[in-house]
């Protein structure tokens, strides 16, 4: 399968990467045309259909999906490790203090850290609730 076809308008445009990315994301042709016709004048549905004959959308999308899955797996492992560390810190703190405001402080700091982490990574599924459950479950046992 030849990814570059010199007869293809999209391939010749120098913007094939952008078209490919949108095809992989499953964007409708109308959206691809709207976004790229200023770079590829006269871009039509027929051009995209023709480009798809030599650009393997599905295998490329599978590759992309697998990459995202790997990244997602790593992120989940990171979160679990983070939660474990926070819990261990809370445990240690509970051992040396009976002041409930100390637990509150570490909880607030952990929640801040978690929020920041998710703001940075742009994740919408913020597991702060999960973190609070872990910490408050510990609080109940201690009290
Ligand atoms: Zn092409």
* DSSP letter string, 14-46: T-HHHHHHHHHTT--HHHHHHHHTTTSTT--HH
What is the pLDDT, as a whole number, of residue 16? 95
The rounded Å distance from CA 4 to ligand 1 centre is 6
Q: What percent of the chain shows pLDDT beyond 90?
A: 32
Whether residue 59 contacts residue 18, with contact meaning beta carbons closer than 8 Å, is answered with no
Average pLDDT over residues 59-86: 78
Given pLDDT bands bounded at 50, 70 and 90, which one contains residue 143?
very low
Q: What is the pTM of this model?
A: 0.54
| Residue 136, pLDDT score | 60
In this structure, how many other beta carbons lie within 10 angstroms of the beta carbon of residue 55? 23
Position 80 in a domain: yes
**Cα of 28 from ligand 1 centre, angstroms:** 17
How many helices (H) and strands (E) would you count in the chain?
Answer: 7, 0
Ligand 1 centroid distance, CA of 22 (Å): 14
Task: Kindly give the distance from the C-alpha atom of residue 83 to the centroid of ligand 1, in angstroms, as a whole number.
Answer: 47
CA atoms of 98 and 102, how far apart (whole Å) = 8
Asked, for residue 61, whether it belongs to a domain, the answer is no
Report CA(67)–ligand 1 centroid distance (Å): 24
| Residues 76 and 134 occupy one common structural domain | yes
CA distances from 126 to 103, 113, 121 (A): 21, 12, 11
Burial class (CB in 10 A: 0-12, 13-18, 19+), 126: middle
Domain membership flag for residue 108: yes
Distance 5 CA to ligand 1 centre (A): 5
CA 115 to chain centre: 15
Output 126 or 53, whichever has higher pLDDT: 53
42 lies in the same domain as 20 = yes
Whether pLDDT at 4 is above 80: yes
How far CA 117 is from CA of 57, 64, 75, 84, 131, in Å, comes to 33, 24, 11, 16, 13
Q: What is the extent of the structural domain holding 46?
A: 9-55
Asked if residue 64 is part of any domain, the answer here is no
Listed in sequence order, the residues at least 6 apart from 107 whose beta carbon sits closer than 8 Å to its beta carbon are 90, 132, 135
Structure tokens at 48: 């995209």
State pLDDT tens for residues 85-121: 777 776 776 677 667 676 677 677 777 766 666 666 6
Residue-level pLDDT at 7: 93
């Amino acid at each position: 399968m030849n990814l570059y076809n010199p007869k293809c308008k999209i391939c010749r445009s120098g913007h094939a990467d952008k078209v490919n990315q949108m095809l992989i994301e499953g964007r409708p042709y109308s959206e691809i045309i709207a976004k790229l016709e200023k770079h590829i004048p006269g871009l039509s549905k027929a051009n995209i259909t023709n480009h798809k004959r030599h650009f393997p959308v599905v295998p490329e999308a599978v590759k992309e999906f697998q990459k995202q899955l790997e990244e997602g797996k790593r992120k989940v492992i990171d979160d679990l490790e983070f939660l474990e560390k926070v819990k261990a810190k809370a445990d240690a703190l509970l051992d040396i203090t009976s002041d409930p405001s100390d637990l509150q402080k570490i909880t607030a700091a952990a929640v801040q850290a978690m929020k920041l982490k998710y703001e940075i990574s742009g994740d919408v599924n913020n597991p702060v609730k999960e973190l609070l459950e872990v910490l408050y479950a510990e609080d109940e046992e201690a009290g």
